[in-house]
Amino acid sequence: MSKSNFLKGAAILGIAGFIVKILGAIYRIPIANMIGDTGMGYYQSAYPLYTLMFALSTAGIPVAIAKIVSEKNALGDYRGAQRVFKISFIGLAIGGILTSSFVFIGAKFIADKVGNSNSYYAMLALAPALLFTPIMSAFRGYFQGRQDMTPTAVSQVIEQLSRVSVGLILVSVLLKLDKGLPMAAGGASFGASAGALLGTITILYIYFKRRRKIRREIRKSPRFDKESTNKIIKDILSIAIPITIGASVIPLFGTIDVAIVMRRLQDIGYTEVEASGLYGQLTGMAQTLINFPQVFSVAIAASLVPAISTAFARRDFREIRKTTTSGFRVTLLIGLPAAMGLFVLANPIVKLLYFSNPIEVQESAGSILQVLAFSVIFLTLVQSLTAILQGMGKPFIPVRNLIIGALVKVVIVYVLTGIPEIGIKGAAISTITAYSIAAILNFIAVKRYTKIKFNIINMVIKPIASVAIMTIIVWFSYNITNSMIGNKLATLVAIGFGGISYGLALLMTGAITSRDFELLPGGNKLSIKLRRIGLLRK
């Protein structure tokens, strides 16, 4: 595959991924305004189980399909590649039937066990998604193995657009019909099922459109020894199992987390409805805002993997250390301002976005966001440090470290959430602790394998100084303008001033260099322009 085609494919998936993440992050804001914190508690109580089942049935196998199909196509063994796809498709279809049936049959039992019986409809509505998503994933892996990224990108965008539109329409209709919050939350969840169905139809349509070409390739394919079904399954699982384990860690502990939080809140005197409301404020409101910075940090992590992998294959440790240094610094330059901005403007942002909720809910969600904001720093670092370790062929290390952090989280959330003075904020503190532990352990591993020596001034002091300048300006600009133009406009003004002041502070302190821009889409062109006017150092 030519470099230009590779870059084209990466760009297609990157753009689609960005659209999908933005739509996913934005989706929960109108939903939260429509069904409130209690309804979001019902909705969010179902989602960890869905993501766990989704990870178990789809996380690793599509990657394995892509890898094996790509290798066989490179040898001209198109018949063998098609056989791998068919066997994988059958396996994923069976996995989809089993997981979908498990959730459909056990929805009531699971909802009761997590201490949120009103989440039943939300869980039930996700069952079809667990059937169609694995089927869609099989086709995505196959097309990616053929170096054809367009079907995956198109189906991803269609899936997410359908999810958002169907979910919003159903919630609106169910509320107008006065069906109650539990069923409205079910409507929000069913958006995922509708998206999975339409995404599957889309990629099936593309497959049948291209089936003639695929058949022509198979007819012309040279005769290779036919591999046994057992060998193909073994090859797929050897690739898929490690990836699946890593992808299942967060959903697994998220599922445990919801049960602990709901039960512990009820232990200290909250009713089931009140506990659901607090859980909705944490995961449906505050956590939604925490997800926004990830749109950028995930893009950084995605660019770090091939950059580190290429340098590692050449045993160019000097290049690895340069890329690692730049990746670490750019991640901090994203995580630090996002965390401090959310901390300083927690209440104003919540009031701006979740305006239809009662003032006491807004203030409560704002106080939770103030605590949870600091998790952004460690979460973004975990993503980038994980990418670096993956690029160096050490994928199990970040998985192990995340498991350690998640185990500590379970203990902390159980203890702190059961303390009346802390309550739901204990869950936020446990999240910060989990990601900080994983980030520190990943950092130690990266230092060990890269032998890197970090320049504290460039890596830490300059970014912190830039963020400090931004934080002061954000705080003053909001408090000065709030009394004159009101919360909504004052919040937007403060965010605008914060972005401008932070960018200038980065350039003034030299916290960002032209090399850092290489990790950003279109960064090279921007760095050239900034160097020409003397605002950027090499």
Residue that is written with structure tokens 């185990």 in the block: 407
Joined together, the tokens standing for residue 319 give 């290049």
Q: What is the pLDDT of residue 2?
A: 42
Amino acid symbol at 112 = D
Instruction: Spell out the residues 6+ positions from residue 171 whose beta carbon is closer than 8 angstroms to its own.
Output: 31, 34, 35, 184, 187, 188
Joined together, the tokens standing for residue 324 give 């690692």
In the chain, the largest separation of any two C-alpha atoms, in whole Å, equals 78
CB 357 within 8 A of CB 286: no
Amino acid symbol at 126 = L
Q: What is the pLDDT of residue 340?
A: 93
Residue that is written with structure tokens 């050449």 in the block: 314
Q: How far apart are CA 364 and CA 410, in angstroms?
A: 23
| Prediction pTM value | 0.77
Residues (pLDDT < 70) of the chain are: 1-14, 17, 57-59, 253, 299, 302-303, 306, 513-538
3 state DSSP class of 537: strand
Q: What is the pLDDT of residue 3?
A: 43
Q: What is the pLDDT of residue 57?
A: 67
Q: What pairs with residue 513 in β-bridges?
A: 537
3 state DSSP class of 39: helix
Gyration radius (Cα) of the chain, Å: 24
Q: How many residues does the chain have?
A: 538
Q: What is the pLDDT of residue 53?
A: 75
Instruction: Spell out the residues 6+ positions from residue 462 whose beta carbon is closer than 8 angstroms to its own.
Output: 509, 510, 511
Instruction: Spell out the residues 6+ positions from residue 235 whose beta carbon is closer than 8 angstroms to its own.
Output: 64, 68
Q: How far apart are CA 347 and CA 326, in angstroms?
A: 33
CB 402 within 8 A of CB 248: no
Q: What is the pLDDT of residue 45?
A: 83
Q: How far apart are CA 440 and CA 43, in angstroms?
A: 33
CB 87 within 8 A of CB 275: no
Instruction: Spell out the residues 6+ positions from residue 490 whose beta carbon is closer than 8 angstroms to its own.
Output: 348, 477, 478, 481, 482, 484
pLDDT digits (tens, 9 = 90+) for 241-272: 877 777 777 777 677 778 788 889 999 988 98
Q: What pairs with residue 537 in β-bridges?
A: 513
Instruction: Spell out the residues 6+ positions from residue 39 whose beta carbon is closer than 8 angstroms to its own.
Output: 181, 182, 184, 185, 188, 280
Q: How far apart are CA 130 and CA 356, in angstroms?
A: 32
